[in-house]
Structure 1
Amino acid sequence: MRPLRYAINVTLDGCCHHEAGIPPDEESMRFWTDEMERADTLLFGRVTYTMMEAAWRRPESGVWPDWMGAAETPFAEAIDRAPKHVVSSTLSSVDWNAELVRGDLEQAVRRLKGEPGAGVFVGGVTLPLALADLGLIDEYVFVVQPVLAGHGPTLMAGLRERVELELVDRHGFRSGAVALRYRARPR
């Protein structure tokens, strides 16, 4: 069974808005590229899918935009080529190497986890909350940013039951951010 890994940037006060932390640098982009490459497939909700597609889908010209430097290109290539599954009740279709996930979320995710491979990566805010409530996330990766945002969506707001985690790895960045990798303890 492949593990389901949830990874996200989060500020010290728990804000998980994608613009609340420090701007990505070469070191953090390398970290996120490695996270993408550890997964066989990506699992996104509608909002995260559309946001990621707008930023990281290879343009039809095949040429990455000018804003993308040497640090961003490997990440863009990794996320662009990865198979994706999109949980949405409002989208009628998806492309970008993606397929829609409809119906029973728990059953669909258990099916994905049951396929052979290295892992499933999930990002975003709303979908991971639902997956945590179902006890389906095996690993949590939080890149804690040295910022107090004071606003915005907070990590796992509304979680129904406490999830106990075991620290399995930590990595400090020159920026002051710290990546913390946890394994979910069985409920």
Structure 2
Amino acid sequence: MRKLIYGYGVSLDGYINDRDGNIDWTDPDEELHQFHNDRYRQLEIALHGRRLYELMAEYWPHVPDTASPIEREFAELWTQKPKVVFSRTLTEVHWNSRLVSDNAVEEVRKLKAAGDGVMEVGGANLAASLIPHGLIDEYQLFISPVLLGGGTPMFPTSDKRLTLRLVETRHFATVVMLRYLAE
């Protein structure tokens, strides 16, 4: 069965973007960007919610020539990586992507059962729809030393407790990574 990872850059107070939707505070240093490239390279499939897909599609396929080699490498990885985009409003997707507009939970269950590689879910709303169903196997938080005071929370509110087991910590120049397994 495929493993599903939910990993995100998050503020110290738990937000993945600020109140205006900006993520400019998540600017990775070279070591962190290379870590993300290496991690992304190992994924079999990337799952994106609509907002994340639109954000990524706006920049990565058109990365400027002045971008660093690490950024150009990620642009190539992102455009080539098989992606499943979950949206009820988009009518088409590009760059090796497939659009799913129906039941995300059922589609993710099928994707998990169809192989033994690693997938990553990107998008807080998409992840929020999967968490209550126990579909996420691993959580990777890249915690930045910033308090946003509002924005999109990484985790949805819930009336049930989710127990996680810390399996790795790693310090980068700009963030601390915490990696947890769902129990």
TM-score computed with the length of structure 1 as normaliser? 0.89
Q: 2:23 aligns with which of 14, 19, 30?
A: 19
Residue 183 in structure 1 maps to residue 162 in structure 2: no
> Judging changes above 3 Å, is the alpha-carbon distance between structure 1 residues 153 and 96 closer, same or farther for their aligned structure 2 residues?
same
Residue 83 in structure 1 maps to residue 50 in structure 2: no
- Residue ranges of structure 1 left out of the alignment (5+ in a row): none
The equivalent residue for 1:5 is: 5
Deviation for aligned residue 1:146: 1.2
Q: 1:41 aligns with which of 36, 41, 45?
A: 45
Stretches of 4+ aligned residues off by more than 3 angstroms: none
The equivalent residue for 1:93 is: 92
> Judging changes above 3 Å, is the alpha-carbon distance between structure 1 residues 120 and 109 closer, same or farther for their aligned structure 2 residues?
same
Deviation for aligned residue 1:151: 2.3
Distance in 2 (alpha carbons) for counterparts of 1:11 and 1:83: 28
Q: Residues 104-131 of structure 1: CA distance to partner in whole angstroms, max 9, x if unpaired?
A: 2221101111122421111121101111
> Judging changes above 3 Å, is the alpha-carbon distance between structure 1 residues 20 and 161 closer, same or farther for their aligned structure 2 residues?
farther
Aligned residues: 179
Does the 8 A contact of 2:49 with 2:87 survive in 1?
Answer: yes
Distance in 2 (alpha carbons) for counterparts of 1:32 and 1:16: 16
Structure number having the greater strand percentage: 2
Does the 8 A contact of 1:170 with 1:180 survive in 2?
Answer: yes
Distance in 2 (alpha carbons) for counterparts of 1:123 and 1:160: 23
State the one-letter code of the partner of 2:82. P
Structure number having the greater helix percentage: 2
Does 132-141 or 18-27 show the bigger shift?
18-27
The equivalent residue for 1:73 is: 72
- Residue ranges of structure 2 left out of the alignment (5+ in a row): none
Does the 8 A contact of 1:167 with 1:181 survive in 2?
Answer: yes
Does 65-74 or 119-128 show the bigger shift?
65-74
Distance in 2 (alpha carbons) for counterparts of 1:46 and 1:152: 17
TM-score computed with the length of structure 2 as normaliser? 0.91
The equivalent residue for 1:154 is: 153
Distance in 1 (alpha carbons) for counterparts of 2:127 and 2:110: 17
> Judging changes above 3 Å, is the alpha-carbon distance between structure 1 residues 160 and 94 closer, same or farther for their aligned structure 2 residues?
farther
Output the aligned Cα RMSD.
1.6
